[in-house]
Amino acid sequence: MSTFLTDTVDILRRTPAVVSALLAGVPNAWAETPDVPDGWRPRDVVGHLISAEIDDWIPRAERILADGTSKPFEAFDRFAHVELDSDVPLDRLVERFAELRAQMLARLDELVTDESDLDRRGLHPTLGEVTLRELLATWAVHDLDHVSQIFAGMAASQDAAVGPWKTYLGILLRRDDPAAMLGEEHSAKLRRLAERTHTNPGTIARSLLSTALDEADPDPRNVTALLDSIPGALDRAERGQKEAQDGQGMRLEDL
């Protein structure tokens, strides 16, 4: 029997403790800066996580198990927290997230009674058919994505304070210039474009990425073609698979 469900729930159960350790009682100066210009502050991230607990993961799991692919998921408002949480203290948001996560995991335990449930399918309004297994994996990775956003926002609050040491701090360099994550050729191209348009490189990079995602074809055949066009992608994937088979990978609990 697979350990997928217990492993995933273990990650999901950890997130509120991580968020609390980072943000409960933290000075306001460390929690009021967005991760990137026009991005989200740590409190915005917690508000979004709360909204997802209420309106996203479990409602969609219930829809999969009740209706299969006959009825699509309801649309999820990623920005619902902006109106709902504007006057709520950060510590209360952190507490509320922990309360909701405990409730949602208890509900998940009630819903999934057999491992075969994980392969049951639902209908996403834009992605098409998805499985419950994919939904739960996305829930866990969504946590990790937004926890990293909290780290980035907290680091950004000290952007000026670190002085010249910023040159060694990738978490701040990436905030100013996503080209820091690109190869030399693409970095230079992005910087030239920013200079010609008098625009922040990060703004241009986010705009280009959004456009690319909007135009991306979710058809698996085309996704495969896209990955095949990335230099070295297949070699890296095969190398990673071999390392995992040889026991050279890192266990999740060792991360």
What ranges do the domains of the chain cover? Answer: 4-156, 163-254
3-state SS assignment for residue 138? helix
Q: Per residue in 192-249, pLDDT tens?
A: 777 777 666 666 666 666 666 566 555 655 655 655 666 666 666 666 666 666 666 5
Please name the CATH architecture into which domain 4-156 falls.
Up-down Bundle (1.20)
Query: What phi, psi does 240 have (nearest 5°)?
Result: -65, -40
Query: Exposure of 222 by Cβ count < 10 A (0-12 exposed, 13-18 middle, 19+ buried)?
Result: exposed
Instruction: Assess contact for 125 and 112: CB atoms under 8 A.
Output: no
Q: Which has the minimum average pLDDT: 8-17, 76-85, 94-103?
A: 76-85
Q: What is the 8-class DSSP label of residue 218?
A: -
Check pLDDT > 60 for residue 252: no
Answering whether pTM is above 0.75, one says: no
- Tell me if 48 sits within 8 A of 78, measured CB to CB: yes
Model confidence pLDDT, tens digit, residues 89-141: 999 999 999 999 999 999 999 999 999 999 999 999 999 999 999 999 999 99
